[in-house]
Amino acid sequence: MKERGLLIVLSGPSGVGKGTVRKELFSQEDTKFEYSISMTTRKPREGEVDGVDYFFKSKEEFEKLIEENKLLEWAEFVGNYYGTPVDYVEKTLSEGKDVFLEIEVQGALQVRKAFPEGLFLFLSPPSLSELKNRIVTRGTESEEIINNRMKVAKEEIIMMDAYDYVVENDDVQLACDRIKAIVTAEHCRRERVAPRYKKILEVE
């Protein structure tokens, strides 16, 4: 039987650049993780493709997925549902591949409960003012949404305690390098490696 893959969860405040870091990671050839595409009821933004960026669902379809326990976690975020398909995650981990989730913090906390052995990475902004700057300059949201997102972000930063590592996003490339270094180190962790060696040597 194949050794199970590692579940890597990248989370952090809204606007910190989770999506940008994730896209950069997956554009790099030496990135070996499998990206779990989320489900959402949010409307596609320009250029977004169904089945690539998200699986876009109606509210009814999403609620059915919740009822049928098809989601590893889900959350309502700024008026829309977002969730992770559990079958894909389970199947990919059991094939021995690392699965990468990029999700907001309520969802990450749910995953922590279901998968305490996962690797939880908190992407942090260099500062809160920088965070507001980034949300405003993105220019796609109304002032009300920006203020709402800022409030949520402050609460989220307090939640840093629930994570294993904090990755500062001062520079996208550096953040990607840090994430890869952490994953490499995690694969060498004694608790993960020792059972395999003990099995080979048939010791307790």
Is 13 annotated as ligand-binding?
yes
Q: Determine if 42 is a binding residue for ligand 5GP (CB under 6 A).
A: yes
**16 annotated binding-site participant:** yes
| Cα dihedral 61/62/68/71 (nearest 10) | 140
**80 contact partners, CB below 8 Å, separation of at least 6:** 40, 41, 42
Whether 44 has a binding-site annotation, put simply, is: no
CB of 194 to ligand 5GP, least distance (A): 33
CA distance 131 to 188: 34
Q: What's the number of CA atoms in the CB half-sphere (13 Å) around residue 30?
A: 7
The piece of 73-81, 89-97, 137-145, 179-187 that touches ligand 5GP (CB under 6 A) is: 73-81
**Using rule CB under 6 A, residue 14 touches ligand 5GP:** yes
- What does the chain come to in residues? 204
33 belongs to the binding site for ligand 5GP (CB under 6 A) = no
The SS3 of residue 167 is: strand
CA gyration radius, the chain: 18
Per CB under 6 A, 89 contacts ligand 5GP: no
Task: Decide if residue 125 touches ligand 5GP (CB under 6 A).
Answer: no
Of positions 38, 41, 92, 169, contacts ligand 5GP by CB under 6 A: 38
Binding residue ranges for ATP: 12-19
Binding site for ligand 5GP (CB under 6 A): 14, 18, 38, 42, 73, 75, 77, 82-84, 102-104, 106-107
